[in-house]
Amino acid sequence: MKRSQLLIPVLASVMLLVTSCSSVKVATDYDDAVDFNQYQSFAFYKPGIDKAEISDLDKKRILRAIETELTKQGFAKSSNPDMLISIFTKTNTNVDIYRNNFGYGYGWGWTPYYWRGAGRETVSTSTEGTLYIDLIDAQKKELIWQGMGTGVLSQDREAKIERINEIVMKIMEKYPPNKTK
């Protein structure tokens, strides 16, 4: 087998590894007319959180992570808060098919000059989750800030907890938008 034929499966494996460990993608949006310095306390908005279509255990993990990040920024959890926090989630299952065209047999190959194929296909699936964190003005009941984080999730309990904490941290790094606090 030629050296270049060996190099392609190795590169494909590296690309699979790199794409499976992709980082968290974050986006935020907010109301330009809001002075975010006026908010100093928070509470969770139960009606909104109850609608999130994830397990109660994952909800608790997300809420603990949000509380941790906000208290790091100097916010206090309160029964009479300045802002309310709600979450919702979306998930997508990604199916990746990788084809190794090395080997001999019937089928079209890499060049139009000879037949080749009989390679193997590898199918893998991954779950990509998107977490939305909504911050709502408690008095006006208006959305003031929204953060969204997307990342690949694991079924392994410890890895999932770590990933939830990472996604929440990356989202909350963007709050407040003007960082004058």
Strand pairing of 120-137 and 83-100?
Answer: antiparallel
Identify which has the larger pLDDT, 3 or 95. 95
Q: What does the pLDDT average to over 72-77?
A: 96
Torsions phi, psi of 120, nearest 5?
-110, 150
Q: 9-13, 53-57, 81-85, 167-171: which range is least confident on average? A: 9-13
Q: Tens of pLDDT along 111-128? A: 555 544 555 677 777 778
The pLDDT, as a whole number, for residue 77 is 97
Q: Does domain 23-94+126-172 have CATH number 3.30.160.670?
A: yes
Torsions phi, psi of 144, nearest 5?
-115, -25
Tell me the domain boundaries of the chain: 23-94+126-172
Identify which has the larger pLDDT, 97 or 114. 97
Local confidence band at 18 (pLDDT 50, 70, 90 cut-offs):
very low
Q: What does the pLDDT average to over 6-15?
A: 44
Among 163, 98, 162, which Cα is nearest to 127's? 163
Q: What does the pLDDT average to over 16-24?
A: 56
Tell me the pTM: 0.73
Q: Tell me whether the omega of the peptide bond preceding residue 176 falls within 30 degrees of 0, making it cis.
A: yes
**DSSP-assigned states of every residue in the chain:** --HHHHHHHHHHHHHHHHHHT---EEEEEE-TT--GGG--EEEE-HHHHHT--S-HHHHHHHHHHHHHHHHHTT-EE-SS-SEEEEEEEEEEEEEEEEEE--S-SSSB-SSTTSB----EEEEEEEEEEEEEEEEEETTTTEEEEEEEEEEEE-SSHHHHHHHHHHHHHHHHTT-STT---
* Three-state secondary structure string covering 27-43: EEEECCCCCHHHCCEEE
